[in-house]
Copies of this chain bind each other. A is one copy, B any other.
Amino acid sequence: MFPKLDPILHSELRLAVISILAGVEDADFSFIKKQTGATSGNLSVQIDKLCAAGYITVEKGFKGKMPRTTCRITEAGLQAFSNYVTALQEYLSAGK
């Protein structure tokens, strides 16, 4: 009746990150930080987890002389996000 919710996505900040990345080609650390309002430390950790899960890729380079971390959602990430939304609907709609 209640499907298991993907624990990687069932996290406020990670869900926000995936949600952002699902809508754009790619996004860098600073942009995601501004959009989410997260602290650097928290964001760094959660990005690592999404990366370890294979839901996003992280590319480190430079914009001029400043370091720049660019994130992009993967196919697996898009699929997981879609599954999560579907599963969650079971919970949200049960009270009807």
| Residues in A lying within 8 Å of B, measured CB to CB | 1-2, 4-5, 10, 12, 15-16, 18-23, 35-37, 81, 85, 88, 91-92, 94-96
- Would you give 6 A-B contacts (Cβ < 8 Å), ordered by A? A1-B35, A1-B36, A2-B35, A18-B95, A22-B94, A85-B92
In the bound assembly, the distance between CA atoms of A36 and B2 in angstroms comes to 7
Establish whether residues B94 and A23, one from each chain, have CB atoms under 8 Å apart when the complex forms: yes
How many copies of this chain does the complex contain? Answer: 2
Nearest CB on B from A40, distance (A): 17
In the bound assembly, the distance between CA atoms of A47 and B37 in angstroms comes to 31
Looking across the interface, which residue of chain B has its beta carbon closest to that of A16? B2
Inside 8 A of A21's CB, which chain B residues have their CB? 95
